[in-house]
Amino acid sequence: MSTTQVLESDTDFLVAALNQYGSGQKMIQKGVDYGGIVEGYSPESIKIAGGRFIRQRFEFRAYIK
């Protein structure tokens, strides 16, 4: 069974990027679910699977096995 953790702080994203949890991280907005490994982050956005996603517009979760 896997659990989820909401990623909010820079520390959360750093840990997720270094550990590359299982299938990676997911962003959820209005039921839309994208997946991939955290490749980078800045105060404004998160880079996942080659795309940049604005922090304020998405909720980011790590799926941990």
How is the chain split into domains, by residue range? 3-64
Residue 20 identity: Q
Do the beta carbons of residue 64 and residue 2 sit within 8 Å? Answer: yes
The pLDDT-based confidence of 39 (bands split at 50, 70, 90) is confident
| Segment 32-61 mean pLDDT | 84
pLDDT at position 10: 92
pLDDT digits (tens, 9 = 90+) for 16-26: 888 876 444 45
Residue 36 identity: G
- CATH number given to 3-64: 2.30.30
Structure-token pair, residue 60: 């980011």
pLDDT at position 44: 94
